[in-house]
Amino acid sequence: MTYYGPKELADSYRTVRNNTIKIAEEIPEAHYGFRATPDTRSVAETLVHIAVGARLQEQVHMVKHLSTLAGFDFAGFLTKQIAEEQVPRSKAQIVDLLRTEGEKFASALAGLSEDFLAERVQSPAGMVPASRSRFEMLLSPKEHEMHHRGQLMLVERMLGITPHLTRQMQERIAAMRAGGTGN
């Protein structure tokens, strides 16, 4: 028995995705073209990048069930991903893409077996580590999303928006103070 298996992996991914969707909803569509610097993704591009980010892991583990990454066409795959980020979309279309892609990946995670998650996948020659478990690799889309969500939270602040997670924390602190349980 493990304490963190497919169900927990799916649930935690859904939590992260729901927080990303909340940010996507709170940023006005007029700011979806905003870039923190000229050489960064726009808000819209970042959200689409997040939305389709799990597709690499889906391809490697769930579609092809690869046991080695040697010979996998990363460049070709990433070229398609980058092209996807450039497709013009409305805010509503991006939020929908976040929802549908997120739930598709979370549902796939929930259906995996612990034996499948324990399988090792070999890295290409010269990469460290030489192999990783599917579990570790399937955790990476959540970590990747949290990285970019942090960027979006900073963008929110640059746009004068207090991120929802900050507001929720402030509300909890205010409630504790009002109840006399925190200083």
Average pLDDT across each block of 10 residues of the chain; the chain has 183 residues. List them in order: 87 98 98 97 97 97 96 95 95 98 98 96 92 96 97 97 95 92 54
- pLDDT computed for residue 127 by the predictor: 87
- pLDDT computed for residue 82 by the predictor: 94
Residue span of the structural domain in which 107 resides:
6-178
125 found inside a domain: yes
145 found inside a domain: yes
161 found inside a domain: yes
108 found inside a domain: yes
183 found inside a domain: no
- pLDDT computed for residue 3 by the predictor: 83
Distances (CA, A) of 179 to 165, 169, 172, 182, 183: 21, 15, 10, 8, 10
1 found inside a domain: no
- pLDDT computed for residue 158 by the predictor: 96
158 found inside a domain: yes
The CATH number that applies at residue 32 is 1.20.120.450
* Number of domains the chain is built from: 1
- pLDDT computed for residue 183 by the predictor: 52
- pLDDT computed for residue 175 by the predictor: 94
- pLDDT computed for residue 1 by the predictor: 55
Query: Rounded to whole angstroms, how far apart are CA atoms 65 and 114?
Result: 15
Rg (CA), the chain: 19
